[in-house]
Amino acid sequence: TQLLEQSPQFLSIQEGENLTVYCNSSSVFSSLQWYRQEPGEGPVLLVTVVTGGEVKKLKRLTFQFGDARKDSSLHITAAQTGDTGLYLCAGVYQTGANNLFFGTGTRLTVIP
């Protein structure tokens, strides 16, 4: 079983604060994805990173892929209540394969 750890597991912050969520593995990823999941819904893709060192921005969200392609981070600037949800990273370990291995998740609560 591929092990993909996320930290922190829970995060509660005030609206307007910044935060970073981490996703780490001992294995090298072919690519890595970040999903957000709302209660009662399935995960929805936010971004895919493929190249080591890659940085992608999605409005206030910044995603970084580690140089060695073993880790990733998600940084949210000036969090809003609409950012509340479960954030999941998912790794693809083999080029050409579609099997996703998910991290344990970070449950974010943004307090108004």
Interface with another protein by CB under 8 A: which residues?
1, 4, 6, 9, 31, 33, 40-45, 48, 88, 90, 92, 98-105
> What phi and psi, each to the nearest 5 degrees, are found at residue 40?
75, 10
Tokens for 42, please give them. Answer: 């399935």
Q: Which is nearer to another protein, 76 or 90 (CB)?
A: 90
Q: Which is nearer to another protein, 77 or 104 (CB)?
A: 104
Q: How far is the CB of 71 from another protein (least distance, A)?
A: 16
Residue 22 to residue 33: CA distance in whole angstroms:
12
Q: Where are the alpha helices (DSSP H) in the chain?
A: none
Give the chain's length: 112
Q: Which is nearer to another protein, 45 or 78 (CB)?
A: 45
Q: How far is the CB of 112 from another protein (least distance, A)?
A: 26
Q: How far is the CB of 101 from another protein (least distance, A)?
A: 7
Q: How far is the CB of 59 from another protein (least distance, A)?
A: 19
Opening angle at CA 70, ends 69 and 71, nearest 5? 100
Q: Which is nearer to another protein, 85 or 105 (CB)?
A: 105
Starting at the edge strand that comes first in sequence, how are the strands of the sheet with 71-76 ordered? 4-7, 19-25, 71-76, 61-65, 55-58
